[in-house]
Structure 1
Amino acid sequence: MSKQKPTATATSGAAAIPTTTNNRATASVLPRPMRRVLQNFLL
């Protein structure tokens, strides 16, 4: 399920502002390695 979240953010690249806010919330909940993966995926 965690793999679908980054895919969804990549799909809705046009809505970058709302997706980044959601990613920050999920990144704080997820462990540090997953947070690193999410940051690398966004960058």
Structure 2
Amino acid sequence: MKSTEPFLDEYYMLDLEETMRKVGFVNVCSVLTDPRHRTVTATVPY
């Protein structure tokens, strides 16, 4: 994607859900809120 933001490609390539699981979040869920946006929720384990 062409953009003036220097790290935008890395952001779009990041697997956010997997990264969240790797750092310890559980119940990671991703939902499309509209065609261009998503909401990611997760739980911090006790």
Q: Relative to total residues, which structure has the larger strand share, 1 or 2?
A: 2
Say yes or no: TM over 0.5: no
Based on CA coordinates, which of the two structures has the bigger radius of gyration?
2
Higher relative contact order (CA 8 A, sep 6+): 1
User: What TM-score do the two structures reach when normalised by structure 1?
Assistant: 0.32
